[in-house]
Amino acid sequence: MVGALDQRLRERLTLAGWLVLGAAAAAAAAGLDTNLTVTYRAFAFLAALLALSWFVSLFFRARIEASREMPRYATAGEPFSYRITVANRGARRLAGTLVTERFRDPRPSFDEWKRTREPGEEQRNWFDRNVGYFRWRWLIDRRVPRDLEPAALAPLAPGERQSLKLGFTPRRRGRIEFSGLTLGRPDPLGLVKGLARIPLAARLIALPKRYRLPEIALPGRRKFQPGGVSLAASVGDSEEFLALRDYRPGDPLQRVHWKSFARTGKPVVKEYQDEFFERHALVLDTGSTRGEDAAFEEAVALAASFVYTIDTQDCLLDLLFVGGEVRAYTAGRGQMRAEHMLEALAGVGPSVPGEFEALARAVLARRATLASVIAIFVSWDAGRARFVAALRAEGFEVRALLVREEGDAPPGVVQLRPGKIEQGLAGLR
């Protein structure tokens, strides 16, 4: 209820309206004893102004048709702009109107509020930890983009159309859901805005932020890739034409070169070389007891940086992480595109730390086809150390990166600290 009232006031009141509301509250507090002061009269006057403005604002009406023109993706932390087109379908001229984007209700459910922990919440006092107001505000703020400013609509006559530029900056990666547009026009006193809501649902994916990586040469050699002609044809050497040869019993008919058959009078088939190409694995450890804290978000951003940087025109890149179950995505020619893998990373969340064993088994099961492994961790224990050691014992080039604030780097592992990722990556080769 308090959240709904707060949201309603934020939508309705102008800056002048907030000043009048604050002055009225101060006058009410100072004029509690009407026998000692007359400031209660100021409260009555200011409250009457607000009530009158609120009443007048209820008569604002607008018949509007609108559409958006925006790309499918934005990037967390980077300004994003797009255009909307507004058409006046009413019989009255619109003037002095502001257009604001409206998002899906950002307030969390009770269960989500109860189970989520705000980063750094353990440092708050007992009252704040148990009441959970700051956690509630944090959950709301992370869902609402920042730098969201209304656009002023020039006077619009009936039947006219106008194009406006809107923009904002996504606070975090993930899905941003639009519910519509809000047209607001202040009342004659300039205290309260009359609102007209236009339903216009849409969805935007905010991709994880990305870091500039140093030039990295992924080692490894081409390996046989079971999976058939259709998979191997998309990458590497297989299905590249080698030569024509005489037909042999058992050759498939689809490989017959019919032009040569017609010219020579005997069956001739096309020959291709075997299914060999490089395949690299990018392993993201999502096991975190601290939820989506700074280290977790930096680990996701680091994984996104590798996905974005590695050229998959001549190799395959497998992305593996735990999201309820082990999930695997493959990028390369004929496979997924890099933006699709970034979209998968935009929705990844923390998992139970013990689920890393399933992830390790999935990676080790692929080792016969892999050339190298990049592993990104958010915690470190004996199981993770055994996983890295097992890969290196079989001759794999493993780049192990650990994102955490405290502690020293384990042997053979590059430790990166949240907020200093680019500095830590500078020496990576």
CATH class of 64-207: mainly beta
CA neighbor of 204 nearest in space, from 406, 11, 68: 68
- Quick one: pLDDT at residue 232? 46
Can you identify the CATH homologous superfamily of domain 277-425? von Willebrand factor, type A domain (3.40.50.410)
Lookup: tokens for 79: 């300004």
Strands (DSSP E) found in 218-267: 223-224, 241-246
CA neighbor of 67 nearest in space, from 200, 231, 212, 177: 200
Determine whether 95 is exposed, middle or buried from the number of CB atoms within 10 Å of its CB (0-12, 13-18, 19+).
Answer: exposed
Type of residue numbered 78 = E
> How far is 113 from 127, CA to CA, in rounded Å?
16
Same CATH topology for 64-207 and 277-425: the answer is no
pLDDT, tens digit only, all 429 positions of the chain: 566 677 787 888 889 999 999 998 888 888 777 666 777 788 889 999 999 999 999 999 889 899 999 989 999 999 999 999 999 998 888 888 999 999 888 888 887 777 777 777 878 888 888 888 888 888 888 888 888 888 999 998 998 999 999 999 999 899 999 999 999 999 999 999 999 999 999 999 999 999 888 877 666 554 544 444 344 444 444 455 556 778 787 777 777 877 877 888 888 877 665 455 678 889 999 887 777 778 888 999 999 999 898 877 777 888 888 877 888 888 887 677 888 899 999 988 888 877 888 888 888 888 888 888 899 998 888 889 999 999 999 888 888 899 988 878 888 888 888 888 888 887 676
CA angle 75, 80, 84 (to 5 degrees): 135
The whole-model pTM stands at: 0.77
* CB-facing half-sphere around the CA of 294: CA atoms within 13 A: 12
CA angle 341, 343, 344 (to 5 degrees): 65
| Main-chain phi, psi angles of 53, to 5 degrees | -65, -40
Lookup: tokens for 223: 């390996």
Compute CA distances 97 → 14, 81, 414, whole Å.
13, 20, 55
Enumerate the domain spans of the chain: 2-57, 64-207, 228-272, 277-425
> How far is 120 from 87, CA to CA, in rounded Å?
47
